Amino acid sequence: MVLIGENINIMSRTIGAAVAARDPAPIQEMAKAEADAGMDYLDINIGPARKAGDELMAWVVNAVQQVTDKPLSLDTTSPVAMEAGLKACKARPLVNSVSLQPERLRQGLPLVKKYHASMIGLLWGTEGMPRDANERCLLAVDLIYQVNQFGISSEDIWIDPIATPVSGEINQVKACLEFMSMLKDIAPDCKSTVGLSNVSNGTPAHLRPYLNRTYLIMLMRYGLHSAIVNALDPELIRIARGKMPEIVSLVHRVMDGDMPDLSSLSQKEIEYVKTVRVLTGETLYSHSWLEI
């Protein structure tokens, strides 16, 4: 599993302040922490970057590359910022992302090609968010076709079905998972990724790791290629690295409808079982799902 660290993110208080002050130290500290935690790529998320985005992205890329050789995933909707970042990258970068909006395709694909990058293909259509797994399939087929037509091969497309918060519409959480189970059939050559922490957005901070870890295990069942993750969650990384096979098989069993006798399980196992049942929609989400 390829892990992309999410932590260099302008929305984070420390990183946002460091970027605004052009203070490289907190950004470089985070980059080192992410690399030490075993991330394969570091995502650099500067948001829409409407003003001077090109200078900003190049500055962050250079700051990060002073402390690590990890390849970067450049996360911005600004094409000028994207190009400036791509130009500054030393290792082969990942463009995060190109969606099916005509403007995004028109601006994104030439950059992917020119800089010989790979790209995240975000399943966001002209009508916005896909409503279910079938709409995700239609968008994926359309996106892959258009990207291939442009001369970019499927191996370089990392399809992102868009993970959504469990505290919102549970059918979307299920649809993202169901789509992942179909992707291997509709596009065997494409890779995949998901913004894992989206699933726990809106959940109290201390409970987010339970949802992130369990959803990762569920997605892994369908051969998820990579995920954008919180690099500062060691248990999540152990799961991705195959170090927790018992928990993985427990979660997969519960996905199949098996309901183990909770009295025979450890506290940690019980927490995973309860969390799978929330993510499959069998238990209604509330902030107190672990206590019920």
In whole angstroms, the minimum distance from the beta carbon of 6 to ligand THG comes to 4
- Give pairs for 26-32: CB < 8 Å, separation 24+: 27/60, 27/63, 27/64, 28/63, 28/64, 28/66, 28/67, 31/63, 31/64, 31/67, 31/68, 31/70, 32/67, 32/68
Candidates 7-15, 83-91, 183-191, 213-221: pick the segment binding ligand THG (CB under 6 A): 7-15
Question: According to DSSP H, which parts of the chain are helical?
Answer: 13-20, 24-36, 53-65, 79-88, 102-114, 133-149, 170-186, 208-220, 234-240, 245-255, 267-279
Which parts of 211-270 interact with ligand THG (CB under 6 A)? 228
- According to CB under 6 A, which one of 6, 34, 54, 233 is a site residue for ligand THG? 6
Cβ burial of 158 (10 Å; 0-12, 13-18, 19+) is buried
Which stretch, 18-26, 85-93, 160-168, 240-248, contacts ligand THG (CB under 6 A)?
A: 160-168
Under the criterion CB under 6 A, does residue 19 sit at the interface with ligand THG?
no
Q: How many residues bind ligand THG (CB under 6 A)?
A: 19
Q: Does the protein bind ligand THG through residue 12 (CB under 6 A)?
A: yes
Identified binder of ligand THG from the candidate list 46, 56, 86, 120, rule CB under 6 A: 120
Q: Which residue is nearest to ligand THG (CB)?
A: 195
- Containing 74, the helix (H) or strand (E) segment is strand 72-76
Q: Which is nearer to ligand THG, 112 or 250 (CB)?
A: 112
Q: For residue 34, state whether it binds ligand THG (rule: CB under 6 A).
A: no
Closest distance between ligand THG and the C-beta of residue 256, in Å? 27
Instruction: List phi, psi (to 5°) of 287.
Output: -60, -20
Q: What is the DSSP letter of 129?
A: S
| Options 26, 53, 108, 195; binder of ligand THG; rule CB under 6 A | 195
Site for ligand THG in 168-187 (CB under 6 A): none
Sign of the C-alpha dihedral computed for residues 249, 250, 252 and 257 taken in this order: positive
Cα gap 159→136, rounded to integer Å: 10
Cβ distance to ligand THG smaller for residue 82 or 228: 228
Q: Output the smallest distance, CB 16 to ligand THG, in A.
A: 8
Residues at the contact surface with ligand THG, assessed by CB under 6 A: 6, 9, 11-13, 45, 75, 96-97, 120, 122, 160, 162-163, 195, 197-198, 201, 228
